[in-house]
Structure 1
Amino acid sequence: MYNILIVDDEPLICRGLASLLETSGLNIQNIYTAINGYEALDYLKMENIDLLITDIQMGAMSGIELMQQAKIIKPWVQVIVISAHETFQYAQLAIRLGARDYLIKPINSEQLLNSVRHVLLHMDKPVFNQEDLISDLRDHFRMEQPHPQRTEILNRLLTDNIAGRSPDVTQLERQNQIRLQGPYFAVIKIRLDFSSNAKATTFADKDKLLLQYAALNIVNEMLDREWDYLSFYSPHQEISVIIQWDEARYGDSSVDKINQLEMIGRSLHFNIHKFLGFQCVVGISQILKGREFLHELNEQVNKAIVWNREHKDHHVFYFGDFKWGVFSEDPSDEDLAAQNNLIVERANEYIHANYAQKGLTLNEVAQKNHVSPNYLSYLFKKNTGVNLWEYVIKLRMEESKRLILNTDLRRYEISERVGYESPEHFSKIFKKYFGISPSEMKK
């Protein structure tokens, strides 16, 4: 069963859509509603939301901004956008961020139900056990092996530093339909770990090829709609992806490129594990201008993947999260621990100073620490034992309790002081945290 979050700054629309879905007969467990993006983020952080239905224009935080934050928190959350505007720019941004549909107000009931039904159906793919998965792949997939010369050239571009446009390389690229125009590039590498399957199954080599082929299909299915990319097999049970931007798309500052790459990495890991049953490690490079840097980008993803040795329970690594330049030689375990402790310490200080700020986001805390939201979340929980946003809520709730018991401030004044946009939403969070309402605690 699925959990759905509906977000619209018109409460009547929220209630109407919730009522429509409640009586639809769809496989829905809970429906949550929020009247602004900040309330929605709290639900996304605290509840297991599968589908987000959001308006595009909502005052302080737009639907586009909410989508960006939602994808940082849970990249696999599915999104349907509703809007009173048929503006192409809004629709383009929503689709680029992974929206599954873009519906125009006034909402047609049947159209919305069809859209929700379609999204839930595609989320409901069966997860096979290993034996069934291999059998299904053998029965239904005819592996179309990538052209060996094309794969060899792409791997050489990454490993042999031949990215300069020498005539022979250019001709080979043209013959193999390789289009590397850029001029901006990033590399994502996926290292498959067949030994990590739940039943510790030992796969034959031919079955590993089937699983690698299935993983490559997941990559292509995820990236085909909105990305200019090349995906291919690499040695050591790896899949490499070269992502490129032209000047126009890279110049669009409406979407943070690094956050988008991390969303891709986390979604790839999530879906490969969900549908194929084994783990993988994903390395993500920085973005550099010029195809001559493909070799360097490949070295970056290889270094990023190495960090899985230090963090066995983490699977997506961005090269820029690790301060390679501060060490004159390979860092020791003590150096790495000190670096990580410093990141958590600074994040803790920033949270204590700003937890009452309306609209505080994980992305903001991460930016202040010059690390990605993904890595900060992981480190914070590993070092403190508590989820970062749960810690923010704890600080807010303890302060609100102190204010209720020791001052005569009204509910709306307290909610403002601890960072909530509306008193009603504050009361919901308070009751969920303490088990009683603010007024009951006051009594």
Structure 2
Amino acid sequence: MYNILVVDDEPLICKGLSSLLASSGLDVGHIYTALSGFEALDCIRMEDIDLLVTDIQMGAMSGIELMQHAKLAKPWVQTIVISAHETFQYAQMAVRLGAKDYLIKPLNSEQFLDSVRNVLLKMGKPSPELATFTPGMGEYFRLEEPLPEYSELLNLLLLDSTSVLSNQSSLEKLDTLGLQGPFFSIIKIKAPLTVDATNKKYSARDGLLLRYAVLNIAKELLDQEWKSIAFYSPDEEISVIIQWDEQSYAETAAGQINRLDILGRSLHFNIHKYLHVNCVVGISQILKGISFMDVLNRQASKAILWNEEHSDYYVFYYGDFNWNNYTADPSAEELHTRSNLIVQKAKEYIEENYTQKGLTIHEVAKKNHVSPNYLSYLFKKNTGFNLWEYVIKLRMEESRELILNTDLRRYEISEKVGYESPEHFSKIFKKYYGISPSDLKK
């Protein structure tokens, strides 16, 4: 069963859509509602949400901003956008962020339910190619190698960019593939293609089939919103070249690293969901110029090596560690020291700013010059707290002190600890302490 979050700053619309979903006969578990983007984001962080249905224009945080933060928190959450305006710019931004539909108010009930039904159906099914994959059934599956002659050329480009770019014939083939950039990044996917989760060996045929399935998942995700090329590389890896032209890179330049992190986690999530293997994903920085392709390749490979230090983590961005501070690759001790420093600085920043309305994990990560997901992982590993759980812990402890030791009203306390609405504050408080603020006061 699927959990759905409905977000609209008009309570009647939230109530109406919730009632419609509850009586629809769809495979729906819990239906949550939120009256603002901040309230919705708390719900996404704290609950297991599968589908987000959000209005696009809402007070301090728009539906577009909510989608951006939701993707950072849980890239696999699907979204349907509703709007009172048939504005191309809004629709375009929503689609770029992966929205599955864009519906115009006033909503037609059947159209809305059809949209939800279509999204839920696709969420539960892999592509036809992946549905065919079952270990031991490889002989019934027809493998098609993805342009082997181009794979060879692209792998050479990743190893020795200069020699490829100095060959006119190779340049013409790269033009045929549409590899023009000028901005590039490399993602490498390494999956355990010889043994399954129980350490049982795959047959050679099943190993090839699994690799083919990993490539298909990568292509399916990439085709949605990326200009990219995915291909087989040596050492049982899949390589992906991501490219941007000047205009598309400039439009959201500040958020491209976050988008790559979201893509990396989506790759890991879907490969694990459909193939039941934990792949490791390495992501390079973004550089301008095809001549840096070998540099980007080395970065992605180096990022993958972090899995040796963090074996319970699977998506690594090269820029999360300042390699330039070391003459050689950092030792395990140096990595550990660096990790502790990142967590300590994050704790200090949160303790100074937890009462700030609209505080986000992205903001904390930006202050530490690391990706939000890597910061969340380190924080949980070092402190035992999920990063946002720590923010809530500080807010709840402060609010409890204010309730017990002052005469401040609920809305004043809510304001002081960083919540937009007293109702949302009360909901979080009761979930945390098992008692409402008014009952505690009594």
TM-score, normalization: structure 2?
A: 0.96
Q: 2:145 maps to what in 1?
A: 145
In 2, the alpha carbon distance for the partners of 1:103 and 1:255 equals 29
In 1, the alpha carbon distance for the partners of 2:368 and 2:67 equals 23
Range 158-167 or range 276-285, more displaced: 158-167
Q: 1:160 maps to what in 2?
A: 160
Q: 1:65 maps to what in 2?
A: 65
Aligned pair 1:96/2:96, yes or no? Answer: yes
What secondary structure, in the 3-state scheme, does the structure 2 residue paired with 1:386 have?
A: coil
What secondary structure, in the 3-state scheme, does the structure 2 residue paired with 1:114 have?
A: helix
Deviation at 1:29, TM superposition (A): 1.1
Aligned pair 1:265/2:237, yes or no? Answer: no
Deviation at 1:198, TM superposition (A): 2.8
Post-superposition Cα deviations, 1:351-409, rounded to whole Å, max 9, x if no partner, equal 00001110000000000000000100000000001101011101100100000000000
Contact 1:197 1:279 in 2 (8 A): no
In 1, the alpha carbon distance for the partners of 2:5 and 2:194 equals 37
Contact 1:155 1:234 in 2 (8 A): yes
What secondary structure, in the 3-state scheme, does the structure 1 residue paired with 2:135 have?
A: helix
Q: 2:417 maps to what in 1?
A: 418
Query: How many percent identity over aligned positions?
Result: 64
In 1, the alpha carbon distance for the partners of 2:344 and 2:356 equals 19
Deviation at 1:138, TM superposition (A): 4.5
- The one-letter code matched in structure 1 to 2:6 is I
Deviation at 1:330, TM superposition (A): 2.5
In 2, the alpha carbon distance for the partners of 1:20 and 1:96 equals 28
Deviation at 1:149, TM superposition (A): 1.1
Contact 2:194 2:207 in 1 (8 A): no
In 1, the alpha carbon distance for the partners of 2:275 and 2:102 equals 30
Aligned pair 1:109/2:114, yes or no? Answer: no
In 1, the alpha carbon distance for the partners of 2:99 and 2:270 equals 17
Post-superposition Cα deviations, 1:317-337, rounded to whole Å, max 9, x if no partner, equal 000001101112222222111
Deviation at 1:124, TM superposition (A): 1.5
Range 235-244 or range 254-263, more displaced: 254-263
Number of matched residues?
440
Q: 1:239 maps to what in 2?
A: 238
- The one-letter code matched in structure 2 to 1:156 is L
- The one-letter code matched in structure 2 to 1:6 is V
> How do 1:202-281 residues align onto structure 2 when only pairs under 5 Å count?
202-253=201-252, 256-281=255-280
Q: 1:169 maps to what in 2?
A: 170
Deviation at 1:204, TM superposition (A): 1.4
Deviation at 1:160, TM superposition (A): 1.6
Q: 1:45 maps to what in 2?
A: 45
In 2, the alpha carbon distance for the partners of 1:195 and 1:314 equals 20
Post-superposition Cα deviations, 1:252-289, rounded to whole Å, max 9, x if no partner, equal 03871110000000000000011001110000011110
In 2, the alpha carbon distance for the partners of 1:131 and 1:422 equals 49
Unaligned runs of 5+ in 1: none
What secondary structure, in the 3-state scheme, does the structure 1 residue paired with 2:106 have?
A: coil
What secondary structure, in the 3-state scheme, does the structure 2 residue paired with 1:60 have?
A: coil
Q: 1:342 maps to what in 2?
A: 341
Return closer, same or farther for 1:289/1:203 CA change in 2, 3 Å cut-off. Answer: same
What secondary structure, in the 3-state scheme, does the structure 2 residue paired with 1:133 have?
A: coil
What secondary structure, in the 3-state scheme, does the structure 2 residue paired with 1:314 have?
A: coil
Return closer, same or farther for 1:169/1:389 CA change in 2, 3 Å cut-off. Answer: same
Deviation at 1:89, TM superposition (A): 1.3
What secondary structure, in the 3-state scheme, does the structure 1 residue paired with 2:178 have?
A: coil
Return closer, same or farther for 1:346/1:196 CA change in 2, 3 Å cut-off. Answer: farther
Return closer, same or farther for 1:87/1:154 CA change in 2, 3 Å cut-off. Answer: same
Post-superposition Cα deviations, 1:105-163, rounded to whole Å, max 9, x if no partner, equal 11111111111111111111379x99972356643x42211222111001011012235
Return closer, same or farther for 1:255/1:138 CA change in 2, 3 Å cut-off. Answer: farther
Contact 2:135 2:202 in 1 (8 A): no
In 1, the alpha carbon distance for the partners of 2:289 and 2:236 equals 27
Q: 1:200 maps to what in 2?
A: 199
What secondary structure, in the 3-state scheme, does the structure 2 residue paired with 1:424 have?
A: helix
What secondary structure, in the 3-state scheme, does the structure 2 residue paired with 1:180 have?
A: coil
- The one-letter code matched in structure 2 to 1:280 is C
- The one-letter code matched in structure 2 to 1:291 is I
Contact 1:357 1:418 in 2 (8 A): yes
Q: 1:391 maps to what in 2?
A: 390
What secondary structure, in the 3-state scheme, does the structure 2 residue paired with 1:43 have?
A: helix
Contact 1:130 1:277 in 2 (8 A): no
Contact 1:196 1:279 in 2 (8 A): no
Return closer, same or farther for 1:255/1:146 CA change in 2, 3 Å cut-off. Answer: same
Contact 1:196 1:278 in 2 (8 A): no
Q: 1:369 maps to what in 2?
A: 368
What secondary structure, in the 3-state scheme, does the structure 2 residue paired with 1:111 have?
A: helix
Range 22-31 or range 340-349, more displaced: 22-31
Range 144-153 or range 413-422, more displaced: 144-153
Aligned pair 1:54/2:58, yes or no? Answer: no
In 1, the alpha carbon distance for the partners of 2:126 and 2:153 equals 36
Q: 1:311 maps to what in 2?
A: 310
What secondary structure, in the 3-state scheme, does the structure 1 residue paired with 2:52 have?
A: strand
Range 18-27 or range 253-262, more displaced: 253-262
Return closer, same or farther for 1:156/1:287 CA change in 2, 3 Å cut-off. Answer: same
Contact 1:272 1:280 in 2 (8 A): yes
Deviation at 1:59, TM superposition (A): 1.6
Post-superposition Cα deviations, 1:16-37, rounded to whole Å, max 9, x if no partner, equal 1011001111111111111111
> How do 1:278-289 residues align onto structure 2 when only pairs under 5 Å count?
278-289=277-288
Return closer, same or farther for 1:92/1:136 CA change in 2, 3 Å cut-off. Answer: farther
TM-score, normalization: structure 1?
A: 0.96
In 2, the alpha carbon distance for the partners of 1:254 and 1:9 equals 30
- The one-letter code matched in structure 1 to 2:400 is K
Post-superposition Cα deviations, 1:40-77, rounded to whole Å, max 9, x if no partner, equal 11101110111101111112111111001000000000
Structure 1's consecutive aligned runs of 4 or more residues displaced over 4 angstroms after TM superposition are 129-132, 135-138
Range 22-31 or range 343-352, more displaced: 22-31
In 1, the alpha carbon distance for the partners of 2:139 and 2:278 equals 21
